[in-house]
Structure 1
Amino acid sequence: MKELNDIINAFDKANAAGKQTALATVVLVEGSSYRRAGARMLVTEDGQLTGAISGGCLEGDALRKARLAMAQSKPMLVTYDTTDDDDAKFGVGLGCNGIIHILIEPIFPAKENSPIALFKQFLSKREPVVLITMFSLADRQAPQPGTCLLMKADESTQGSIVDEEIKDAVLADAMDVLKNGNSVTKTYVYGNGYTCFIELLQPAVSLVIFGAGNDAIPVVQFASVLGWHVTMVDGRANYAVPERFPQVKKIVIAKPDKALANIVLDDRTAMILMTHNYNYDMAMLRQLLTLKLPYVASLGPKKRLQRMLDELKEEGINVANDQLESIFGPAGIDIGSENSDEIALSIIAEIQAVLNKKAVNSLRDKQAVHTRHIKPVMQQTATAEEGKN
């Protein structure tokens, strides 16, 4: 959700300066493209761009279209067809072999349910929502309603569907997206024939790091780049300080039994045990196993984690298979990591993959992590007589 945060911040600055703005949203992709539906970019009247709708090839033309939309004070649907090999004739040179539909809508700050207002509503609470963007593919000259409604899991809504004939069907489809977790684009043939991009928005990843050692610094930095919310937990007050971790949202100084007291946990929460203190990590693992989190990582060798699990078994704690599936140790994917920066990258990549339900080559699935194939070298020692020659 970093892109949405950046867009909101850019809008607030532009609005304070009295600048007009427009929002460009990729609402439908046919074929391949650099960005998928849901990619967004805020454009100001003086040409400042925040976010991205492509790899850089569409932005210039979209800027010109956005200025026109702002001048006309109405949304417009723009289509870039790159299925023709000679796509350079469009002046964008995409080479993506796809058709990209982009909705450009001027932002009116006084409008109660403007796209920015809906974004802010979503970001105000940590819960998934569905955002509905309406447009007319059949008639680009027809009114383009744009980003119009936000629905929460309790079925409460903010905004409205302008076409009453399709309202019930759209809201039913929105609830289905919330339950199944997949955004869809659907055209409703009755009513005014609008197409709706029904988009699932998930809260930012919440990353809880146990351990404020130096190797946690690059983990925090990578997570911050992605816009994740990072909480740092450690029992050592002189280690877990803002000066060492300026990008951390929350620092908790606590012993294991108090560590989780003020941390909100959900299905977008990932945990990393990296205190390098066996007893602390063990105490935390004992608690985390019962929480059914999607990702719990243990830094260090596989035998260290196995020892913890064996001890839990001796205590009478039965670790079920579904619990084991969410425990990753050694942490990270297999990219040949050696130093702390590379290890941090592999862990962050693994979390991203697990939360997105993508298969990766995790280190926990390897028999041995650090293996070396050393070619034997035959050494010959010269005799004293040979040395004289």
Structure 2
Amino acid sequence: MTVGGWSAPETDVMANVGEALDGDRAVLATVVAVEGSAYRRPGAKMVIGDGDGVGAVTAGCLEDEIVALAREVLDCGQPRVERFDLTAGDDVWGLGVGCNGVIDVLLEPLAESYRPVVEAYQSGKDTVVLTVVDGDGTPVERGDRTVVFPAESGASGPCLQDTDWPDELLTALEGPTNRLLSADASDTVSVRYEGDDIDIFVDCVTAPPELVVFGSGRDVAPVARSASEVGFRVTVVTFRGGAATADRFPAADRVVSTSPADLRDVVSFDAETYAVLMTHNFVDDRIALTEVLDAPTEYVGLLGPRKRFEELRSALAEDGHHLTDDELDRVYTPVGLDLGGGTPLHVAQSIVAEVTAVHHDRSPNHLTERAGPIHSRSPVGVEPSEFE
């Protein structure tokens, strides 16, 4: 199992799930419901094999217990839902831990039913995983699973894989599944089927966004490393072939070299692709900016002072390319959040923090000034007591 530990990004967790499917037995632990506040929200995962596991379902408060429970699940071969009451009270879980909520965790032996999820994730496709957490007395049992692929733009409803789940059950799930997809959330929903309630965890598994960093300077590697650590797939594009080596940018998933005018021949851009130009070359930036703005990416970060961008903008105008308001709205320059600090690591932190905020549609502010919960809440769900 790949080294990652509890602080591993989701990309590492999913990679370990794939390795476990191809190798030794393992257990997948997933937060399926939260009442109150908790460090992680529904959908948080941890995979436990021979070691201490990779990923986290809390801030480390319960991981040792999860590992112990995983051993029991492996021994009996049956999935189980475990409740942890972290609210203040007499319960042992309320003593000294940092959360103040009730967390339900599904622990299940990893099986082939999860392989389509891993394969879709690795190929950049989103999925919705439907897993039964309570189906006693119904045609489905705890741990039964099917996979949903979100509909293409313009289509209605999710697209289901071949499944032996009853059509009526899938129809009942369509509404809450679409609401969770719209909210980019995961949660357990309760649906009525043939007079019985079935609790099903609807897990919206979003493929990792891609960050494309243009440049070959020493300041590129910290950006690639920081972005990788928070779950981006990172492509480094250099315009100098001698610098396009994996050893130079070890955290990048891919390193390619091309000319600025041909970059879209080697990189595919969509709305989930984010671009940062840090070539330190005025001509390269000018050509690359034009190419990237012609693509559908919604974020283009440009390193350098505002005056440099105005000079670049004037040069583009002389070439006949007058930046539109829409294009200007997509360009972030000077790139990054105002965090202070001037070292390459500070700059990388600033850039990746901004890209992360844009990806999650957030306006960066101090959390102490944020009204309401830190994490968005699910638009659907069941009370945790319904699992009992």
Q: CA deviation at 1:93?
A: 3.8
One-letter code of the match for 1:21?
A
2:19 alignment counterpart = 12
Structure 1 outlier segments of 4+, above 6 Å = none
What is the percentage of aligned positions where both structures have the same residue?
31
Give deviations 1:216-235, integer Å, cap 9, x for gaps.
12111212223422222222
- Whole-Å separation in 1 of the counterparts to 2:119 and 2:263: 30
1:243 to 244, 247, 250: 247
1:201-350 to 2 correspondence within 5 Å? 201-350=205-354
Whether the 8 Å contact between 1:149 and 1:161 is mirrored in structure 2 is no
| Corresponding residue SS for 1:238 | helix
Distance in 1 separating the partners of 2:67 and 2:105 = 12
Give, in whole Å, the separation in 2 of the partners of 1:107 and 1:233. Answer: 37
Q: Which residue of 2 aligns with 1:366?
A: none
Shift of 1:14: 8.4
Q: Distance in 1 between matches of 2:183 and 2:361?
A: 13
1:309 to 1:146, Cα distance in 2 relative to 1, 3 A: farther
TM-score, normalised to structure 1, is 0.80
Is 1:128 matched up with 2:126?
yes
Q: Output one character per residue of 1:247-293: Cα deviation in whole Å (capped at 9) or x when no partner.
A: 32333322211122111111121111111111110111122222231
Q: 1:179-214: CA deviations, max 9, x gaps?
A: 554444422144431223323222222111111011
Q: Is 2:203 aligned against 1:199?
A: yes
Aligned to 2:174: 171
> In 1, distance between residues paired with 2:235 and 2:11?
21
Q: Are 1:94 and 2:97 matched, yes or no?
A: yes
Distance 1:242 1:190, change over 3 A: closer
Conserved in 2, the CA contact under 8 Å of 1:7 and 1:41?
no
Distance 1:260 1:93 in 2: 53
Shift of 1:131: 1.9
- Offset, 1:137: 9.1
Correspondence for 1:383: none
Please tell me whether the aligned partners of residues 132 and 141 of structure 2 are also in contact (alpha carbons under 8 angstroms): no
Partner of 1:385: none
Shift in alpha-carbon separation, 1:174–1:10, aligned structure 2, 3 A: closer
Code of the aligned partner of 2:103? I
Mark the CA change 1:82 to 1:219 in structure 2 (over 3 Å): closer, same or farther: same
Q: Secondary structure of 2:240's match? A: coil
Q: Note closer, same or farther for the CA distance 1:132–1:312 as it changes in structure 2 (3 Å cut).
A: same
Q: How many residues align?
A: 350
Q: Distance in 2 between matches of 1:138 and 1:96?
A: 31
* Whole-angstrom distance in 2 between the partners of 1:15 and 1:338: 44
Q: How many angstroms apart in 2 are the aligned matches of 1:186 and 1:150?
A: 15
1:105 matched to 2:94? The reply is: no
Say if 1:341 and 1:59 are closer, same or farther in 2 by CA, change over 3 A.
Answer: same
Task: State the TM-score, normalizing by the size of structure 2.
Answer: 0.81
1:12 Cα deviation from its structure 2 partner: 2.9
Which residue in the other structure is 2:31 paired with?
A: 26
Going from structure 1 to structure 2, the CA distance change for 1:178 and 1:33 (only over 3 Å counts) comes to closer
Q: Residue 24 and residue 249 in structure 1: after superposition, are their counterparts in 2 closer, same or farther (change >3 A)?
A: closer
Q: Which moved more, 1:184-193 or 1:264-273?
A: 184-193
How far residue 85 of structure 1 moved from its aligned partner, in angstroms, is 3.8
3-state DSSP class of the match of 1:360?
coil
CA distance in 1, matches of 2:251, 2:305: 28
What amino acid sits opposite 1:40 in the alignment?
K
SS in 1 for 2:294: helix
CA distance in structure 2 between the aligned counterparts of 1:268 and 1:156, rounded to whole angstroms: 21
AA matched with 1:26:
V
1:13-40 Cα offsets, whole Å, 9 max, x none, are: 5863xx4322111011111011111111
Structure 1 residue 304 displacement after superposition: 0.9
Correspondent of 1:51 among 15, 38, 55: 55
CA distance in 1, matches of 2:294, 2:17: 41
**Partner letter of residue 147 of structure 2?**
L
State whether structure 2 residue 62 is matched by structure 1 residue 41: no
Mapped to 1, the partners of 2:238 and 2:26 lie a distance apart of: 44
Looking at structure 1, the residues matched to 185 and 86 of structure 2 have their Cα atoms a distance apart, in angstroms, of: 26
1:234/1:252 contact within 8 Å kept: yes
Q: Secondary structure at the residue paired with 1:36?
A: coil
- The question of 1:81 aligning with 2:85 is answered yes
Letter in 2 for 1:166: L
Cα shift at 1:246? 2.5
Instruction: Quote the residue 1:377 is aligned against.
Output: none
Q: Match of 2:283, as an amino acid?
A: N
The answer to whether the 8 A contact 1:11-1:21 is kept is no
Deviation at 1:74, TM superposition (A): 1.5
Gaps of 5+ in 2: 1-7, 153-157, 366-388
In the TM superposition, residue 92 of structure 1 has moved relative to its aligned partner by: 6.6
CA contact (8 A) 1:134 1:147 kept: yes
Pairs within 5 Å for 1:134-153 = 134-136=132-134, 143-145=141-143, 147-153=145-151
Alpha-carbon distance between aligned partners in 1 of 2:283 and 2:14, rounded to the nearest angstrom: 44
CA distance in 2: counterparts of 1:9 and 1:226, whole angstroms:
16
Write the distance in 2 (CA, Å) between the matches of 1:107 and 1:181: 24
